[in-house]
Structure 1
Amino acid sequence: MKQNSKSAAKDDLARLIARVGSSRDMEAFERIFRAYAPQVRAFMLQRVRDPQLSEELMQETMVTVWRKAAQFDPSRGTPSAWIFTIARNLRIDNYRRSRRPDFDPNDPAFVPEPEPAADHALETRDEETRLHAAMTGLPSEQRDLLKLAFFEDVSHSEIADRLGLPLGTVKSRIRLAFSKLRAALGDRP
């Protein structure tokens, strides 16, 4: 007999949720609220140990039940399991939000680099132009080695394998290219 009353209560609750979902029946929702709000509050209090937060999460759970009642599918589970799944998910969401650090607009990671001073930008542009001119003055095999090594970040041994050259030849050509660049740019060794 006890099993029959549980089954009838479950069916009654499923019908109440269906009425809320289909016609926004306030009386049906009040019955659901009276039956489950205290249980959801106790569930939350056990987990968050904060009476005020438990109350807020219970209210949010019941509002979600109201809003999503049309989505309840009795073939997928019991009404109480559906309600407590909503409650559990809201508690997890709340936990994650509380653990997420607040956005600090003054955090150095979010502050853009200051624009370089005009004279510095001009110097940089001039140096780039000089370097480009010096690079074009190199023999093509040295220029290609520098591009592979420094612009494409290829290791010396990989360059040797790619080009079919001995490793020592790759290294000596790169050293020679640097020497010519220093001379062209007027840098001291």
Structure 2
Amino acid sequence: MTRRTDCSYLAADLTADIFVAALENAGQYDPRRGEPAAWLYGIARRVVASHYRGSTRERQAVARLNGRRLLDETDITALDERIDAERAARQLVEQHSTLIEPLRDVLDLVVVDGLTPREAAQVLGLNRATVRVRLHRARRALRAEPASASPRTDLVEHTLEAVA
């Protein structure tokens, strides 16, 4: 058995398994079919093959799990926060798409592009008062919560503060 494995402990375990299988199947031995040694070698071949099939499955399972770990409470909290932030972002995108184009243009220039209201007024060819009014209307529209939406989260509030 030691020639079929690279570990003497494994060889001892497999030898024990072979003799347990031989004792369990002793009633099925038929001397007309061959010598007892050949019968034992047949059992040994099946036990060893079974062991290597099992260890191959185990190695494949370990390889699939390699690099993965169980999530702890911090990971779960971070995932919950990420899901909430993505929900808020989708809500904000929905609300943004419902704004009329003049409000959306001003909001995009100030929030997305980072321009000041004065710079946005110059880009759009409007006076600053008009841009401020449109920003106010856009903020008010974004703060108005649709009936089906969940409570606003920090992302929505942070975006609205950036507009202010």
- Could you state the TM-score of these two structures normalised by the residue count of structure 1? 0.37
- Could you state the TM-score of these two structures normalised by the residue count of structure 2? 0.42
